[in-house]
Structure 1
Amino acid sequence: MSIQKKISSESIKDLRNKTGAGMTDCKKALTASNGNIEVAIENLRKKGLATADKKSSRVATEGLIQSYIHAGSRIGVLLEINCETDFVARQPKFQQLAKDIAMQIAACQSVKYVSKSDIPKTIIEYEKKIELEKDDLISKSDDIKIKIAEGRVEKRLKELSLFDQVFIKEQNITIEELIKQHISLLGENIKIRRFERFLLGEGIESKDNNFANEVSNMIRAK
């Protein structure tokens, strides 16, 4: 027969600070895990994700526009993140979430869409075509070729999706899981509606290229 470990108030407070869950839920989770805080966090997260799924269909029209400028002012991000009420939009946890996600977008240069479901079918078909025509698949059978290509395309789609990125501040969860945690903690649906990343000089030809074109045009004029 196992001996139940006594749960201290310090452990409950520590778990509450790490998860944002209620005191009663924290005590229950620690009791169930016999004081193992990592197991308790995992159990609360699982419970929170289930709760978040129930709220995901609610309309979210409040929220905020969050900006992030990286050190050196060469990368910037604008993000619109929505919740259900202005009350939650003013909460420090929601505002910190917005800052963390904006910073994540700045760090993930390949991310272009909120989730895989937002990626246009034309992009998916293009990626499939590229993979199926790669040299290392030419000699393989059609079944094997398709299977390998699908795996590679899935990996590529995850690279394009913000939700599939590993949270840079907590490597054991994705951005989608981070959002769901906050839905559970704040009790409202949370949606990332849109974002835009700005890179200094993006889309502008370099001065050297412009100068080369000028010289070329002058030569032709003669």
Structure 2
Amino acid sequence: MFKKISVENIKELRNKTGAGMTDCKKALEASDGQIDIAIEALRKKGLASADKKSSRITAEGLIESYIHAGSRIGVLIEINCETDFVSRQPKFHQLAKDIAMQIAACQSVAYVFISDIPDNIVTYEYSLELQKEDLVDKPSNIRDKIANGRLNKRLKELSLMDQNFIKNMEITIEELVKQHIALWGENIKIRRFERFLLGEGLEVKTNNFRDEVSNMIQNK
């Protein structure tokens, strides 16, 4: 028997997905009122529609910052969209803040996409994998296969879009962005980011206290 869809069910689904009321109602009707199935259906639909918008120009957006507790790690991120209407939306600002926080939490992330990683870095990482002790005595074809698998895993560690979203580990950052593309119906792109670590690059003075006192006495 078909389950009656209430306004409360539709609102609950809308709050969880950000999808429109009509789309939520249709998804619930198709899933016989099962929220989890409806969420999955909307997510798949959103990802499909987002892919069609990925080539559209993004000339608006904002620069967002995130400073971690203790003020020892900070991140600046530029995220772009198509219109200033979307760039002013609180949810767009929250998206930028969430991604900046993700970058602060993932210290190995250095690029937005795997395709952004320079060839020399890819070659270097591959050579490191080939030199590992557990691969030395294996046949070349097996060694190459294992090394390539490990390389792909390493490249994903360096890529922001391949990270699992820290607030919802069931989706990646790429999927998170695509959900918001589906929400507003326009393209969204993470253009660049910069991570700041307190004291990074500074030479720390290591003279011990005894040497310092000795130098002071000699200079009197």
1:99-138 paired onto structure 2 within 5 Å: 99-138=97-136
Tell me, in whole angstroms, the C-alpha distance in 1 between the residues paired with 2:164 and 2:180: 16
| Distance change (3 Å), C-alpha of 1:213 and 1:12 | farther
- Equivalent residue for 2:165? 167
Tell me which amino acid in the other structure corresponds to 2:201.
G
- Equivalent residue for 2:16? 18
Gaps of 5+ in 2: 213-220
Shift of 1:209: 6.3
| Distance change (3 Å), C-alpha of 1:87 and 1:132 | same
Tell me, in whole angstroms, the C-alpha distance in 2 between the residues paired with 1:211 and 1:25: 69
Q: Deviations over 1:84-117 (max 9, x none)?
A: 1111100111111001000000000000000101
- Equivalent residue for 2:78? 80
Shift of 1:212: 11
Q: TM-score, normalised by structure 2?
A: 0.93
Shift of 1:213: 11
State which of 132, 155, 158 in structure 2 corresponds to 1:157.
Answer: 155
Gaps of 5+ in 1: 215-222
Tell me, in whole angstroms, the C-alpha distance in 1 between the residues paired with 2:111 and 2:34: 37
1:165-204 paired onto structure 2 within 5 Å: 165-204=163-202
State which of 203, 206, 215 in structure 2 corresponds to 1:205.
Answer: 203
Structure 1 counterpart SS, 2:171: coil
Q: Aligned residues, how many? A: 213
- Equivalent residue for 2:215? none
Q: Deviations over 1:41-77 (max 9, x none)?
A: 0100000001000100001011000011001000000
Q: Deviations over 1:126-174 (max 9, x none)?
A: 1111111111101100010000000100000000000000000111000
Identity of aligned residues (%): 75
Q: In angstroms, what is the RMSD of aligned CA positions? A: 1.8
State which of 44, 63, 67 in structure 2 corresponds to 1:65.
Answer: 63
Tell me, in whole angstroms, the C-alpha distance in 2 between the residues paired with 1:206 and 1:73: 19
1:23-102 paired onto structure 2 within 5 Å: 23-102=21-100
Runs of 4+ that moved beyond 2 A = 209-214
Q: TM-score, normalised by structure 1?
A: 0.92
